[in-house]
Structure 1
């Protein structure tokens, strides 16, 4: 079975590094990172990830703007997205349902449980 490939989009370098380490070291998945929504859109096209872990609060193009742009791009419109955010009030948002978000992991997160939470939301095996 091919290794899963995950795109992490978060403006905080420390968060990207911790999440990358968890996904690579614990799950053995390939990881690509982006520090902005704009960079993330480019990497969706150039890197062909299997799923995205997305921060909502970012300067410039925030996570919701990224999701809207992603869902309007026909080729990648169904790419699964899990939010990694401190914005807890998003967990029951109708907007997230409309944008086909698979789930939300709240910050701060437990690095030892991150892979299991992410895999569970996507229906992946670890």
Structure 2
């Protein structure tokens, strides 16, 4: 079972991702609606992978990941960003900052689980 922390401010996207990943039976999904909520959650929960929305009110996905990376347990956890602004330069920048994958929105719910598993495999 892959422990996934999903950080996304849009409730509809959280629901779609949870349904898509839940159907596979391969993921244990914990969801947070903001970077701040995710930082509070990781005090007691260490996922195998983090799926982060890039643009959120308050903290961005990148800022959230930077804060998580300050914790030793999170130094090597694969991080995947989801963004509606998937410009080539931005994708390259996110990959350069240590993202295992960048998934464009709208995403395909049918392939989301495989995209996450592939990113984890590349990060190992």
Runs of at least 4 residues of structure 1 off by over 3 A? none
How far 1:44 moved relative to its partner?
A: 2.0
Structure-2 residue corresponding to 1:21: 19
Aligned counterpart for 2:104 among listed residues 102, 106, 121: 106
Structure-2 residue corresponding to 1:91: 91
Counterparts of 1:47 and 1:70, CA distance in 2: 12
- Give the structure with the larger helix fraction: 1
5+ residue gaps in structure 2? none
Counterparts of 2:62 and 2:10, CA distance in 1: 17
Counterparts of 2:95 and 2:69, CA distance in 1: 12
Let me know the Cα RMSD of the aligned residues: 1.5
Calculate the TM-score normalised by the size of structure 2. 0.89
Q: Deviation per CA, 1:31-72: give whole Å up to 9, x if none.
A: 000000011112222122111110010000111111111122
Aligned length: 120
Q: Deviation per CA, 1:68-111: give whole Å up to 9, x if none.
A: 11122223221111111112122111x5423x110101000111
Structure-1 residue corresponding to 2:46: 48
Contact kept? 2:46, 2:73, Cα under 8 Å: no
